[in-house]
Amino acid sequence: ASEDHKEYLKHALHIARTAGQTILAAFNTRSSLHIDLKNDNDADLVTQVDRSVEAAIFSYLRAQYPSHRFVGEEGTAASGDTNTGIVANDETPTWVVDPVDGTTNFVHGFPFVAVSIAVVIRGTPVVGVVYNPIMNEMFQGLLNGGSSMNDIALPLPPVRPLKSLASALVATEYGSDRGSEVLDAKFAALRDVVGSPARGVRSLGSASLTMCYVARGALDAYWEAGVHAWDVAGATVILREAGGLVSNWSKPDSSAAEPYDICARNVVCVRKTAEELHAKAILESIRTTLRPVGYTRD
Ligand code: IPD
């Protein structure tokens, strides 16, 4: 891993821990939360904590790296411009931040809540930190430098054998979009994967943590349509460094070998297996089951 990337990771860890203290304090005293609906949608929430944590993270990072770019969930939502500007030929390091991933969990007191911080260069996440301050789980990953949870290398041992979907614990999410076309596509995908059959299905309510649980080996696979770059950027490097595979599924004719586009609004991933061909086969069997959901690229 490059020295620059190591320094980015150091700052990301520091500010994630600081943000985590704010999130934990607010989680424990939820009565004073100020909650707003995004686009008048009861399934898409934002709180004052999301906004203030994002502002604090960016103010710290901007002071360290004034020439870098900064993309955050709440700033992007407030500006109404969903184009992140993240493209494959951009050399400028871009910090991609979700201050509270799992806002609905946060509001309801369900403890899968994380701050996610990534550095993306040329469209590829090179540093990722996903911190759940409620459960005190710190996931970190560095391109070509490995990944860990609370300083233990991922995946956590013992790594269970996994040869096919039939013995897999999988995860997906319904997202915040309640349009019937989108829901039909998601439920059809869920039906097909679970009927394949998969052993069990979970929904944790935080895309970044779900990917980290795949990296950890507690979940075997995960897919979702509707995710944004800030939900998946940090966890992508953590999962890859843990030997997992991550891919897009919006283009049925595309190859799983194409580099994962964090802005494409979808994800499918599988954890490390003893033999990679098993992970590849599981990834492919999920990808071919999924029907495209037409979201505009971030
Ligand atoms: C959401 C969560 C959720 C996923 C959504 C995300 P937020 O992020 O990760 O699990 O289903 O797609 O938008 O809004 O809590 O930061």
* ipTM of this complex: 0.96
Strand 221-225 and strand 266-270: the pairing is antiparallel
Choosing from 97, 173, 210 the residue with most ligand 1 atoms within 8 A of its CB, the one to mutate for a pocket test is: 173
Q: Ligand 1 in contact with 205 (CB < 6 A)?
A: yes
Side by side, the strands of the sheet bearing 221-225 are 200-202, 169-172, 221-225, 266-270, 245-247
Q: Which of 206, 214, 262, 293 to mutate to test the pocket of ligand 1 (most atoms within 8 A of CB)?
A: 206
Q: Is the distance from the beta carbon of residue 207 to the nearest atom of ligand 1 less than 6 Å? A: yes
Q: How confident is the model at residue 250 (pLDDT cuts 50, 70, 90)?
A: low
CA 70 to CA 98: how far, in whole Å?
11
**What's the rounded Cα separation, in Å, for the pair 265 and 5?**
26
Find where tokens 């996903």 sit: 130
**Each residue's pLDDT tens digit, 132-170:** 999 999 999 999 999 999 999 999 999 999 999 999 999
According to CATH, where is 3.30.540.10 located in the chain?
A: 3-153
Q: Which CATH topology does 3-153 take?
A: Fructose-1,6-Bisphosphatase; Chain A, domain 1 (3.30.540)
Class (C level, CATH) for 165-289: alpha beta
Average pLDDT of the residues of the chain? 92
Residues contacting residue 107 through CB under 8 Å, at least 6 positions apart: 30, 33, 35, 45, 47
pLDDT in tens, 18-49: 999 999 999 999 766 788 888 888 888 788 99
Q: Is 50 in the pocket of ligand 1 (CB under 6 A)?
A: no
The answer, yes or no, to whether residue 251 has pLDDT greater than 60, is no
Q: Which atom of ligand 1 is nearest to the CA of 226?
A: 12
H or E element, residue 141: strand 137-142
* Phi, psi at 148, each rounded to 5°: -150, 165
- 221-225 and 169-172: which strand pairing? parallel
Task: Kindly report, as residue ranges, where domains of CATH 3.40.190.80 are found in the chain.
Answer: 165-289
Q: Is 101 in the pocket of ligand 1 (CB under 6 A)?
A: yes
Closest atom of ligand 1 relative to the 203 alpha carbon: 10
Ligand 1 atom nearest the C-alpha of 231 is 9
Asked whether residue 253 carries a pLDDT value surpassing 70, the answer given is no
Q: Whose CA is nearest to atom 15 of ligand 1?
A: 102
Q: Which is nearest to 283 in space by CA: 239, 238, 246?
A: 246
